[in-house]
Amino acid sequence: MGSKHNFICPSCEYESGLVSGQPDSGMMVAVDTMVCQDCQSVVDVVVQIFLDEYAAEIDLNCCPDCRGTRVSPWPSQHPCPKCQEPMVQDSLSPEMLWD
């Protein structure tokens, strides 16, 4: 079971929305949190599909927001894609668990 959190940039106030913040997996897919160079967003990108029946429905290695393919792993320092300052996990937002 995976978990997702909201990350906030204290400098420019960009919010990631709910993302894992690291490689994560559930029962059907594995994701990695990446930065999309096309829409400058932090997103969870599907990197592996465990069940063949979902393979035709899910695009691997592309941004779920803009469908761009210029994605790269989000560094462990969690830099903001807008201003490059470190982002922090929002302690006030609820954690989401997913399968």
Note whether residue 73 is domain-resident: yes
Using CA atoms, how far apart are residues 56 and 46, in angstroms rounded to an integer?
13
Helix (H, G, I), strand (E, B), or coil: what is residue 53? Answer: helix
Note whether residue 8 is domain-resident: yes
What pLDDT shows up at residue 5?
A: 92
Note whether residue 74 is domain-resident: yes
Token pair recorded at residue 24: 């994560």
Q: How many domains does the chain have?
A: 1
Note whether residue 97 is domain-resident: no
Q: Which domain holds residue 19?
A: 2-91
What pLDDT shows up at residue 94?
A: 64
What pLDDT shows up at residue 30?
A: 94
Average pLDDT over residues 15-40: 94
Note whether residue 98 is domain-resident: no
* 35-85 pLDDT per residue, tens: 999 999 999 999 999 988 878 888 899 999 999 999 999 999 999 999 999
